[in-house]
Structure 1
C-alpha cells in the first residue's frame, strides 16, 4: 500500500514532539492554529485604537514629530463638542445617511420583490442591476461627474426643465442646495443592488407552505404581504440598513470625486472633516479626539441597533 502524505509527516516528526502533540486536546490544537491570526488582528485593530485614544489627550502634530508634545486633557474633546461647524457637519452626515438608507431600502426591496417573481429574463436583469455595485467608487465618481456637467449632463437638463433654469449654465453638483442630493443619487444608484440582494435572500428563504396556508385561509395578497412577507424579511432589511449605515457614515471617496468635499459645508461629511483636520491642518491630537468621538457614536448606535435586530429575530 503506498505511503500517504500523513504517514510521511508522522514518520518525519521527532518522537518527543509526537508525544507532546498526542497529549494535546483538539481544542488546544485549534487554539494553536487560530492564535497567530487573533494576535495579528489585535495588533492591527486594538493597538491603533489605544494609540489614537492616547494622542487625543495631547496637542501632537504629525508634521512636527520632534516638537514637544503637551498633555491637554479633555481640551480637544471640549473644543470639538462646542464647535458649531462640527455639529453642522454631523447634521450633513445625518441628512446623507437618512436619505441614502431610505431610498436604498425602498428601491432595493421593490426590485427584490420584482426579481423574486421569477419572470422571463429575471436572471439577466438581476445581473444588469448588480453591475453598479461591482464598480470602483473612483470610476463611479468620475462617470457621474460627467453626467452632472452643464454641457452633457443628462440630469442637469431634467432638473433644469422642471426648475426653469438654463441647462447650459446649470450644474447639479455646482449648486449648493442640490449638491447633497447629487451624492445621494449616486450612492443610491451604486449600492441599491446590495440591499436588493439581501432582500432577495430574505424573500427566497420564506417557505412556500406559509403562503399556501394563508391562501387556504382566504387571506388576500395584501394581507399576506403585511403579515408574512414583511415580518419575515424585516431582519434582512435591518441587516442591510446596518451594513449600509456603517459604510455611509465613513463615506469619503465618492464625495471627494464628485464635489471635492464642497461647496461650503453642504457636502462636508464627518469623514472629510476628519481628513482635513488630520492631513491638511495637521492637528493630529485634535483629529484623534474627533475620531474617538465618531467611533464611540457609531459603536454605540450599532450596539443599540443590533439589540433591536436580535429582538426582531426572536419574534
Structure 2
C-alpha cells in the first residue's frame, strides 16, 4: 500500500495539534511565520536589553549624583554636571587618556602591518602553510591572565629570557634590562605583549579578505603584464582594505578598554606611566569610592568610543561602496 506525502504531512500536523492546547494551537494558526519567529526570540532580546540597557541607564543616573558605593545608606543628592566638570578638568585623567591613545595607536599600527604581512605570506599557500597558521594562532588562544604572567617572567631582569636576549645582542648587563621597571620602556613592553597576542586575530581577518579576491582579477592583470608590485597596490590592497579597516575597528575598541594586560604586567606603574583610562576608572570607583565621578568618567569614555566608532564605520561603508 502506498502512502502519499501529503497524507503523511497531514497526519503529522494533526498529531502536533492534538499535543498542543487548543487555545495555543488556534492562536498560532492565526500568526504569520515572522510573528512566530519574533515570539520565540523575544524573551532572549528582552533579557539582553535588560542586561545591557539597565546598567547603562543606572550609570547615567549615578553620574549626576554624589553616590558612593562604600556608603550605600547615605543620602544621595544630585550634583548636576559637577562630576563631568571635575573629570574634564582633572590632569590625571587627561594623562591616562593620553597613555591610552599611545597604546591604541602603536598596537593597532604594529598589529595591522604585521598581521597583514603574515596573512599575505600565508595566502601564498607555501608548503606547510597550515601548520604555520596553527602555530601563529596559538597566542590568540591563550587567556590574557596566562599571557600576562608568561611575559612578566620573560621580562624578569635576572631570570627572564628577554633580558638575556637583549644582553646578548647589546652587551648590556641583564640587571640593567628593566623593561617593566623603566619609565621609558614599560609602555613599549606592554605594546610588545599586546601585539604578540592579538596580531593573529588581525591576520585572520586580513586572510579572509585576501581569500575573497577572485583569481580572475589577477589573471587579467597578468595578461596586461602588470608587475607583482603593481598587482599588490592596485588589486590586493584596495580589495582587502575593508577587511583591514574592520580589523582596525575591532582592535581599536578592544585596546581602548585595555585593563587586564596592564594590571598583570605593571599595575599602571612605574608611577603612572602605564596607567590607562580603564585603570584610572577602576581606582576612582573602587579605591577612592567616588562612584558618581567614576560613572561620569565611564560615560565620557563611552561617548568618545561610540562617536569615534560611528565616524569610522561611515568611512568603512564609503570604502566598501567603491
TM range (shorter): over 0.9
SS of alignment partner, residue 173 of structure 1: coil
Change (3 A) 1:196 1:6: farther
Alignment of 1:59 with 2:86, yes or no, is no
Question: 1:171 Cα deviation (Å)?
Answer: 2.0
Question: 1:56 Cα deviation (Å)?
Answer: 0.2
Equivalences for residues 5-84 of structure 1 within 5 A? 7-84=14-91
Question: 1:16 Cα deviation (Å)?
Answer: 2.9
Question: 1:19 Cα deviation (Å)?
Answer: 1.7
Q: What is the Cα-based RMSD across aligned positions, in Å?
A: 1.6
Corresponding residue for residue 277 of structure 1: 284
Deviations 1:186-222 (A, max 9, x none): 0000000000011111101100000000011111111
On the 8 A contact 2:112/2:202 being kept in 1, the answer is yes
Deviations 1:99-143 (A, max 9, x none): 000000000001001100101110000000000000000000000
Aligned mates of 1:269, 1:291 — CA distance in 2: 13
Equivalences for residues 194-233 of structure 1 within 5 A? 194-233=201-240
Question: 1:5 Cα deviation (Å)?
Answer: 7.1
On the 8 A contact 2:99/2:275 being kept in 1, the answer is yes
Question: 1:14 Cα deviation (Å)?
Answer: 2.6
Corresponding residue for residue 107 of structure 1: 114
Question: 1:303 Cα deviation (Å)?
Answer: 0.3
Question: 1:170 Cα deviation (Å)?
Answer: 2.9
Question: 1:156 Cα deviation (Å)?
Answer: 2.2
Q: Which runs of 5+ in 1 are unaligned?
A: none
Aligned mates of 1:180, 1:126 — CA distance in 2: 29
Report the TM-score, using the length of structure 1 for normalisation: 0.96
Question: 1:163 Cα deviation (Å)?
Answer: 6.2
Aligned mates of 1:5, 1:244 — CA distance in 2: 50
Corresponding residue for residue 258 of structure 2: 251
Corresponding residue for residue 307 of structure 2: 300
Equivalences for residues 163-182 of structure 1 within 5 A? 165-182=172-189
SS of alignment partner, residue 272 of structure 1: helix
Corresponding residue for residue 266 of structure 1: 273
Corresponding residue for residue 103 of structure 2: 96
Question: 1:164 Cα deviation (Å)?
Answer: 5.8
